């Protein structure tokens, strides 16, 4: 399984994003484009970043009826992204429809992963707001297993959950894990964090890092530090 660092480009507009990516001379980080940037700039931002030679994780977290998700995935597949995602809460049928929509005529498709439970959801809000009265760990495992059954490639989860997910769904089932910080960084609004080296030891396949790289004094240096630590160097 390819291990890599994905840089969350949580910028509000194309200009700031290109300015940031322009700092990397020669190197082409795997980038994550989220809802803010995609809704601000539309599909053109994906085409442009792809044209510049970056791999793209398009993090739009789809959750709708299977037919709508299938048709939307066909559009995203045409944008030639490398990885995209859905909410596992959309059900196994919705995830199956997502795979169908994403698969191109030649049988190839971007990687598809599922969000299990957002890390902003805690046990209390899951029970009180969603009426899910199972322990969080069990819910994450169940949703990951549903994603595997639907044929998805992996899940977004906390690095703390990566080992359990691999034990349940196999080592080829990828774990993409945000909530990663350098030893010296403040945690910010991420509650449960790990360093790139700890995330590697925990079995993460891809780590997603935003602010520790985008807001660093020297983003290129921070990115290469993350790569080295995550590669175990």
Question: Is the Cβ of residue 70 or residue 87 nearer to ligand C5P in the bound state?
Answer: 87
The verdict on 156 binding ligand C5P (CB under 6 A) reads: yes
Give the chain as a DSSP string: ---EEEEE---SSHHHHHHHHTTSSS---EEEEEHHHHHHH-HHHHHHHHHTT--EEEEEEE-S-HHHHHHHHHHHHHTT-SEEEEEGGG-HHHHHHHHHHH--TTS---EEEEE-S-TT--HHHHHHHH---S-HHHHHHHHHHHHHHTT--EEE--GGGHHHHHHHH-TTSEEEE--B--TTS--TT-SS-B-HHHHHHHT-SEEEE-HHHHTSSSHHHHHHHHHHHHHT-
Sole binder of ligand C5P in the list 33, 194, 197, 209 (CB under 6 A): 209
**Least CB distance from residue 41 to ligand C5P, whole Å?**
16
138 is catalytic: no
Sole binder of ligand C5P in the list 17, 119, 146, 198 (CB under 6 A): 119
Sole binder of ligand C5P in the list 45, 83, 147, 208 (CB under 6 A): 208
**Least CB distance from residue 175 to ligand C5P, whole Å?**
12
Catalytic site residue from 3, 16, 50, 61: 61
Sole binder of ligand C5P in the list 29, 110, 203, 210 (CB under 6 A): 210
The verdict on 10 binding ligand C5P (CB under 6 A) reads: yes
Where in the sequence numbering do the catalytic residues fall? 61
């Amino acid at each position: 399984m390819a291990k890599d660092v994905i840089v969350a480009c949580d910028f509000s507009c194309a200009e700031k994003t290109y300015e940031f990516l322009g700092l990397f001379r020669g190197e082409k980080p795997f980038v994550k484009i989220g809802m803010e940037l995609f809704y601000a700039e539309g599909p053109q931002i994906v085409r442009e970043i792809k044209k510049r030679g970056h791999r793209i994780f398009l993090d739009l977290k789809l959750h709708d009826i299977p037919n709508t998700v299938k048709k939307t995935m066909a559009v995203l597949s045409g944008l030639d992204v490398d990885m995209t995602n859905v909410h596992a809460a959309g059900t196994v049928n919705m995830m199956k429809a997502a795979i169908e929509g994403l698969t191109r005529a030649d049988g190839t498709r971007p990687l598809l992963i599922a969000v299990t439970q957002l890390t902003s959801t805690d046990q209390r809000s899951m029970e009180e707001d969603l009426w899910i009265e199972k322990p969080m760990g069990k819910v994450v495992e169940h949703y990951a297993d549903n994603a595997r059954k639907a044929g998805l490639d992996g899940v977004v989860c906390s690095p703390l959950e990566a080992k359990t997910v691999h034990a349940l769904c196999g080592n080829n089932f990828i774990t993409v894990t945000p909530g990663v910080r350098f030893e010296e960084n403040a945690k910010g609004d991420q509650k449960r964090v790990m360093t790139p080296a700890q995330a590697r030891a925990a079995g993460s396949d891809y780590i997603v890092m935003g602010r520790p790289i985008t807001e660093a004094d020297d983003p290129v240096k921070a990115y290469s530090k993350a790569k080295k630590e995550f590669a175990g160097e």
